[in-house]
Amino acid sequence: MTSVATPTLQASALADLLVAADLRGHFTHGLNRLEMYVNDMVKKVCAGDATPVIIKESVSTALVDGKNGLGPVVGNFCMDLAIQKAKQTGVGWVCAKGSNHYGIAGWYAMTASKQGLMVESSLNSDCAIRTNPIALAAPGEKGDDFVLDMATSVVSGGKVEVACVKGEDVPAGWALDRDGAPTTNAERALDGYLLPLGGDETHSGYKGFGLGMMVEIFCGILTGAPYGSNIRDWTRTDRPADLSQCFVAVDPSFFAPGFEGRMTDLMNHCRNMEPEAPQKPVLVAGDPERLHMRKVEQEGGITYHINQINNLWKLAKYLDVTPLQP
């Protein structure tokens, strides 16, 4: 990133985020996306050196202009601001416009959770209401935490991309083709539409659709930036993305004492439930990522697929920088 004119401070923020995604096992949102961020800098559609500014502010709220900066730069700025306000008034609600893709939503939620705060974070996505992710994190005892980080569609686009690359079908109930017909063909699904969480009407797909709109309301509608179908297409990188993001921090100490103990108790109650299959214990949101982090620790590093290593070598060659060393 520094080789394409991103100052070290901003580049580091992005690096931390991408590595955290890979560490947690979300490879679709980690180093895999580096090329996209590089291209945004090369095409000058993202301002790598930008610093966000506050447009409007109250003790508990802020509207921020990201000034087209890198997603994590805008995201960290807003999350820190929301945390600061939550510590003073119990709640901090900060929305940003003029931002870019900010990686895993859980990153920001975890930042606050580490400080003992409860957080919601969400991002609108290009092209009508697509994956519109939402994350919620809440701290338990001794570093334990609840981290829900989910697309409001049945699955994220990344899972369909992976099926495409592997030449596999996708399960029924994930997607429609371009003409609106259900499909299990991964390429047709990628060219079509993801179903909202719930799927068809019988299984309450309108709830996933409603949650996706809720995210849009928290983002583009509150900030006044593009929303819904006004948002730039994911593939058209000839102009700034102008994405919106929303960060809400809540300080549990403004409510009943003992929040962290109750969180751990609730999570352990779920984890200790008798599983349907003995080899698949009940997990709560954040546990699959915790298991992946333990695996990385045991292996002494993150294991990447050879295709990804090759892509990063190609990228290093293109940028004329030292490639990742084995």
Residues that bind its own copies (CB under 8 A): 56, 58-61, 63, 89-91, 93, 95, 97, 118, 129, 136, 138, 146, 148, 150, 154-155, 171, 173-174, 180, 197-199, 202-204, 206-211, 213-214, 216-217, 220-225, 227-229, 250, 252, 254-259, 262-263, 266, 269-270, 276, 283-285
Nearer Cβ to its own copies, position 87 or 240? 87
- Nearest distance in Å: CB 281, its own copies: 13
Which helix H or strand E contains 97, and what residues bound it? strand 91-99
Alpha helix (H) ranges present in the chain? 8-23, 34-42, 71-89, 105-113, 157-166, 186-191, 205-216, 222-223, 259-271, 287-299, 306-319
Nearer Cβ to its own copies, position 103 or 220? 220
- Nearest distance in Å: CB 126, its own copies: 15
- Nearest distance in Å: CB 42, its own copies: 31
Nearer Cβ to its own copies, position 158 or 199? 199
Nearer Cβ to its own copies, position 31 or 160? 160
Residue for token digits 């960290």? 76
68 phi and psi angles, rounded to 5 deg: 60, 25
- Nearest distance in Å: CB 34, its own copies: 27
245 phi and psi angles, rounded to 5 deg: -140, 155
- Nearest distance in Å: CB 19, its own copies: 24
Nearer Cβ to its own copies, position 210 or 240? 210
Whether 133 and 150 have beta carbons less than 8 Å apart is answered as: yes
Q: How large is the C-alpha radius of gyration of the chain?
A: 20
